[in-house]
Amino acid sequence: MRFQSIYVAGHRGLVGSALVRNFQENGCPDILVRTHKELDLRNQEDVRKFFSETRPEAVVLAAAKVGGIQANSNYPVQFLLENLEIQNNVIATSFESGVKKLLFLGSSCIYPKLAPQPIREESLLTGPLEPSNEPYAIAKIAGIKLCQAYARQCGADFICVMPTNIYGPGDNFDLEKSHVLPALIRKVHEAKVKDQRDVTIWGTGTPRREFLHADDLADALWFLLENYDSPEIINVGYGEDITICELVEVIAEVLGVKIKIIFDKSKPDGTPRKLMDSSRLRALGWKPRISLQDGIRQTYNWFMQSGAESKRRSN
């Protein structure tokens, strides 16, 4: 065990909650968490007070304003401003209070819209971004650059990890704001319950996406905390991608229903393809364990048991 105490910022989110489970299993002696109500990470003074009181040895920054393609398009101010505020406060305060290691989470959308596939880390800042999530991507790129600046100028061990599209228990199933995988679980489930065959999906169904289970990501992040100290960004992916239409079919198969896909072409497709090249991480000795089918089955079970299924449905 390298660290006596780790602060997981954003522990109630999809990634943060998986991190807490993983760190507990790995026997981390002290996992520090605060709810949004207890600590507003956008407030610099509050963040400084929290760090001076708790003195974490390591920090994982999994707190962020996140959402799917439509939430990104509808709330560019929040996606840019809140993410900049959160990450500036947490990264700068981590350095000021002598945090030994910080792990900053980026996203696959930091890469150019038309980056060569699979996307290598070297593609960063080599072309224009996907417009629908440019504000979020710019905030994340600023976070990477800030961590790298602390590493270069001050010798800080601040690492930056770029996960692909993540899913799993604890995800957001709100149809307006969610990412595609939980949205499609909800839509196929509702078709099943209502005994309908039609499921309407956004766009053309042809974009390709790669999906990694949050527990696999948490495992990779633990591995990187232990084994990675380079300021160069590093990708974490599953290694395979599928089209959105294929994703609907996998979900329908897991739920045991036959469905017909209807396309709402008034909605955007976004980036045509986002498959990470994760060979840098594979070469270090880490690989994912949870297949897409198993992960969807487990996420669906969570959706049914957690009460998320009965929460407000928006369209």
**Among 42, 113, 189, 209, contact with ligand GFB (rule: CB under 6 A):** 209
238 catalytic residue (yes or no): no
Q: Does 183 bind ligand GFB (CB under 6 A)?
A: yes
Task: Give residues with Cβ within 8 angstroms of 313, minimum separation 6.
Answer: 175, 186, 190
CB closer to ligand GFB out of 124 and 156? 124
Q: Does 136 bind ligand GFB (CB under 6 A)?
A: yes
Q: In this chain, which stretch among 219-227, 264-272, 275-283, 285-293 interacts with ligand GFB, using CB under 6 A?
A: 264-272
Catalytic choice (7, 75, 111, 136): 136
Indicate if the alpha-carbon torsion angle 285, 60, 293, 306 is positive or negative: positive
- Please tell me the distance from the alpha carbon of residue 149 to that of residue 96, in angstroms, as a whole number: 14
CB closer to ligand GFB out of 159 and 183? 183
* DSSP 8-class letter at 128: P
- Please tell me the distance from the alpha carbon of residue 301 to that of residue 213, in angstroms, as a whole number: 14
Q: Does 288 bind ligand GFB (CB under 6 A)?
A: no
Q: Does 56 bind ligand GFB (CB under 6 A)?
A: no
- The contact pattern for ligand GFB, residues 103-132, with x = CB under 6 A and - = no contact, is ----xxx----------------------x
Checking phi first, is residue 122 left (phi over 0); if not, alpha (psi -120 to 50) or beta? alpha
If binding means CB under 6 A, how many residues of this protein chain bind ligand GFB? 25
215 closest CA partner among 234, 186, 197, 238: 238
- Phi, psi of 141, deg, nearest 5: -65, -40
Q: Does 143 bind ligand GFB (CB under 6 A)?
A: no
Task: Give residues with Cβ within 8 angstroms of 305, minimum separation 6.
Answer: none
Which token pair is 3? 């660290």
Q: Does 133 bind ligand GFB (CB under 6 A)?
A: yes
Kindly state the smallest distance separating residue 309's Cβ from ligand GFB, in Å.
Answer: 16
Q: With residue 295 as reference, give the H or E element that holds it.
A: helix 292-305
- Phi, psi of 311, deg, nearest 5: -70, 165
- Please tell me the distance from the alpha carbon of residue 183 to that of residue 275, in angstroms, as a whole number: 20
- Cβ proximity of 4 and 57 under 8 Å: yes
- Cβ proximity of 286 and 226 under 8 Å: no
CB closer to ligand GFB out of 32 and 105? 105
Q: Give the residue nearest to ligand GFB (CB).
A: 68
Q: Does 207 bind ligand GFB (CB under 6 A)?
A: yes
* 229-248 binders of ligand GFB (CB under 6 A): 244
CB closer to ligand GFB out of 8 and 183? 183
Which token pair is 137? 């991507």
CB closer to ligand GFB out of 57 and 269? 269
Kindly state the smallest distance separating residue 31's Cβ from ligand GFB, in Å.
Answer: 25
Which parts of this chain interact with ligand GFB (CB under 6 A)? 68-69, 72, 107-109, 132-133, 136, 165, 178-180, 183, 201-203, 207, 209, 244, 267-271
Catalytic amino acids? 136
